[in-house]
């Protein structure tokens, strides 16, 4: 009886234990019942009791034999696990095969950090040099990834190098794998890449790029520096025309807070190319006229302009000031027989002015020179300097100017040669005729400056003019009085689009008159003793002026805010970045 029961149990449990004969006599003969326990199923928690215990089949968690349905369920779970294992094995095999088939795996990667590990003889090509003459040639280019667009088996990429852009195409072929295309499509914008490929003629002009006629068919792409995935501002948004009201724009504070990204835009690259051009042309012309470039101190012992708008700094155990102008030192150098000098450097003004044209630190282009008979020799020289700058920008920087105008619309800058010179009284007369009530001894307000600029443009068709013979009472202490009328001075301002860009004058070179003028302006003589003493041993008649670089660029390009033409602007509310 017991043998029959065991035989019956083994028949039912056969799928869950190793295959054995269902013959009970054979099992008894082999001592199977006496020596073995039934196999436990650890995955399901199901088991059978040892042979010497009373049991009729696999036991469940409750210690009772499983039903037929439970046994079927157990079979299904085992089959499911088997298929899962087979599927995972197949996927692993396919992955191995895929890796083996990525014939382009050496053609793309994120490179290790560049630490000048090696030097090679590779030849690099700039994006701006990619023209139709390069068609058919292989090139190696380093550029930023401007945009990328993956479309399955190919990826369209735009590479940017400063103001220049070119389209690249990375498409699956005998040398470019699917993995490489997928890699290229996933690179973050603004990352710096090294790409190689053949230059081909574009089927149609690529209007979104500066290099419209050619494309690079990329077969190698390596990431030199990976940008973070989220940018604080989008290059496309920061480059949109100001007049495009339907599209997203980036406000000024966001731009300045993230100036490094903002400066990457093509219009900004062009603006600062023009700014560099102004400096180059300024230096070029004055050097050709016998001027020597000098460098003056920016830490001084007294307020150089005689006013209170200076930054005071701790200087060891005493105090000093940041120079409002290189004025005093330019004059002292002329007394040392340098004859004609210019300087380009920082100027500091502690004016709490939050206007579109004021900065607390700007770059000054300063001129100082001796003259023989009349200070108009100085006015003529400065006027010719401006004309040289305007002509040079027009003739040499037209491409940059056009790029700026795509975002900031403006009329071409107009000027006369020689420059228009009006007296201050004539300027006041023009304003009075236009209905402005003002006296001849008043300084021009900003609104009156702009109005006068419009009146001059209407009458003389020029955006640049010079206003001579200012009232003495509105000029610094070192300004030479007019010999014919003590209420006037031998001083002048120069204007672009109705805004002042240069202030200058004949300087007082007689120490007695200089002391008199300083006392009138309540300046501590002890603090400017070295300056006054420099004129005691023979000083030539001289004059000059100071130009605000950022303001010149702003007005020439008609940008409407000097912060657009200052790389890292400083004003009363901003000292970063």
Q: What is the pLDDT of residues 141-153, one digit of tens each?
A: 999 999 999 988 9
Q: Is the pLDDT of residue 109 over 60?
A: yes
Cα–Cα distance, 279 to 160 (Å, whole number): 26
Residues ≥6 apart with Cβ < 8 Å to 360: 311, 348, 349, 350, 351, 570, 571, 572
What's the number of CA atoms in the CB half-sphere (13 Å) around residue 421? 16
What string of DSSP letters covers 196-247?
Answer: EEEEEE-SS--TTSSS-SEEEEEEEEEEEEPPPSS-SS-HHHHTS-TT-TTS
Structure tokens at 60: 């469940």
Residue 357, both tokens? 């044209």
576-to-87, 125, 235, 262, 496 alpha-carbon distances in Å = 58, 35, 21, 14, 29
Q: Which of 138, 356, 358, 570 is catalytic?
A: 358
Determine which of 4-8, 384-388, 433-437, 557-561 has the lowest per-residue pLDDT on average.
4-8
Q: How many angstroms separate the CA atoms of 209 and 213, rounded?
A: 9
Q: What is the pLDDT of residues 354-367, one digit of tens each?
A: 999 999 999 999 99
pLDDT at 308: 65
Contact predicate 296/334, CB 8 Å: no
Average pLDDT over residues 520-538: 90
Q: Among this protein's residues, is 94 annotated catalytic?
A: no
Question: Is 349 tagged catalytic?
Answer: yes
Please identify which of the residues 196, 284, 351, 377 carries the catalytic annotation. Answer: 351
pLDDT at residue 379, rounded to an integer = 98
Active site residue 75: no
Catalytic residue among 551, 563, 565, 566: 551
Catalytic-role residue among 304, 503, 565, 566: 503
Residue 503 annotated to the active site: yes
Q: Rounded CA gap, 69 and 75, in Å?
A: 10
Q: Give the pLDDT mean for 496-518.
A: 96
**Of the candidates 472, 514, 511, the residue with the CA atom closest to the CA atom of residue 492:** 472
What pLDDT shows up at residue 571? 95
Rounded to the nearest 5 percent, the helix, strand and coil shares of the chain are 35, 25, 40
Q: What is the mean pLDDT of residues 558-576?
A: 96
Q: Are strands 292-293 and 214-225 parallel, antiparallel or unpaired?
A: unpaired
Q: Write the pLDDT tens digit of every residue in 303-318.
A: 655 556 899 999 999 9
Our answer to whether residue 433 is catalytic in this structure is no
Joined together, the tokens standing for residue 256 give 């300045």
Question: Are 239 and 264 contacting, i.e. CB atoms less than 8 angstroms apart?
Answer: no
Residue 156 pLDDT greater than 90, yes or no: yes
How far is Cα 513 from Cα 521, in angstroms, rounded to an integer?
A: 13
Of 11-20, 353-362, 442-451, which gets the smallest average pLDDT? 11-20
Instruction: Pick the catalytic residue from 144, 500, 509, 563.
Output: 500
Q: DSSP character for 445? A: P
Predicted TM-score (pTM) of this structure: 0.81
Ranking 308-312, 352-356, 450-454, 538-542 by mean pLDDT, the lowest is 308-312
Is 358 considered catalytic here? yes
Residue 60, CA atoms < 13 Å, CB-side half-sphere: 11
Residue of 107, 160, 349, 542 marked catalytic: 349
- Assess whether pLDDT exceeds 70 at residue 469: yes
* 357 catalytic per annotation: yes
């Amino acid at each position: 009886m017991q043998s029959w029961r065991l035989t019956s149990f083994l028949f039912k449990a056969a799928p869950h234990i190793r295959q054995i004969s269902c013959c009970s006599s054979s099992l008894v003969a082999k001592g199977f019942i006496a020596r073995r326990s039934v196999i436990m199923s650890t995955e399901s928690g199901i088991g059978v009791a040892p042979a010497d215990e009373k049991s009729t089949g696999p036991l469940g968690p409750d210690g009772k034999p499983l039903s037929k349905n439970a046994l079927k369920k157990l079979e299904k779970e085992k089959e499911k696990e088997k298929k899962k294992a087979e599927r995972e094995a197949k996927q692993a095999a396919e992955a191995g095969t895929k890796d083996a088939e990525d014939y382009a795996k050496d053609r793309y990667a994120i490179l290790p950090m560049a630490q000048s590990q090696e030097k090679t003889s590779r030849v690099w090509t700039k994006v701006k040099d990619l023209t139709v003459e390069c068609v058919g040639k292989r090139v190696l280019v380093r550029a930023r990834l401007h945009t990328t667009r993956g479309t399955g088996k190919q990826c369209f990429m735009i590479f940017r190098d400063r103001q220049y852009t070119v389209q690249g195409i990375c498409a699956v072929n005998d040398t470019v794998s699917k993995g490489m295309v997928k890699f290229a499509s996933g690179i973050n914008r603004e990352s710096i890449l090294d790409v190689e490929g053949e230059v081909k003629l574009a089927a149609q002009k690529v209007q979104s790029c500066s290099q419209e006629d050619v494309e690079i068919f990329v077969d190698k792409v390596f990431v030199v520096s990976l940008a973070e995935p989220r940018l604080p501002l989008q290059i496309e948004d920061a480059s949109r025309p100001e007049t495009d009201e339907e599209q997203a724009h980036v406000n000024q504070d966001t731009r300045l807070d993230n100036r490094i990204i903002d400066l990457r835009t093509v219009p900004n690259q062009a603006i600062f190319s023009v700014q560099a051009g102004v400096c180059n042309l300024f230096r070029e012309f004055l050097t050709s006229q016998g001027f020597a470039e000098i460098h003056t101190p920016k830490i001084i012992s007294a307020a150089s302009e005689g006013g209170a708008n200076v930054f005071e700094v701790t200087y060891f155990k005493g105090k000093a000031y940041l120079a409002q102008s290189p004025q005093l030192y330019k004059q002292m150098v002329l007394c040392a027989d340098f004859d004609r000098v210019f300087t380009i450097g920082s100027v500091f003004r502690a004016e709490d002015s939050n206007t579109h044209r004021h900065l607390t630190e700007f770059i000054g282009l300063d001129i100082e020179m001796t003259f023989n008979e009349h200070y108009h020799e100085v006015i003529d020289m400065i006027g010719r300097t401006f004309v040289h700058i305007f002509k040079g920008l027009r003739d040499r920087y037209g491409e940059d100017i056009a790029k700026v105008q795509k975002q900031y619309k403006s009329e071409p800058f107009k000027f006369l040669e020689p420059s228009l010179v009006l007296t201050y009284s004539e300027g006041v007369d023009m304003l009075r005729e236009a209905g402005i009530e003002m006296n001849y001894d008043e300084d021009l307000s900003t609104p009156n400056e702009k109005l006068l600029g419009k009146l001059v443009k209407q009458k003389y068709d020029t955006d640049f003019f010079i206003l001579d013979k200012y009232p003495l009472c509105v000029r610094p202490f070192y300004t030479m009085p007019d010999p014919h009328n003590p209420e006037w001075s031998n001083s002048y301002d120069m204007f672009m689009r109705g805004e002042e860009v240069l202030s200058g004058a004949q300087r007082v070179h007689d120490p007695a008159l200089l002391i008199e003028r300083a006392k009138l302006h309540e300046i501590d003589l002890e603090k400017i003793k070295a300056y006054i003493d420099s004129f005691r041993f023979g000083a030539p008649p001289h004059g000059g002026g100071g130009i605000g670089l950022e303001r010149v660029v702003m007005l020439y390009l008609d940008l409407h805010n000097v912060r657009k033409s200052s790389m890292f602007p400083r004003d009363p509310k901003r000292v970063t970045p």
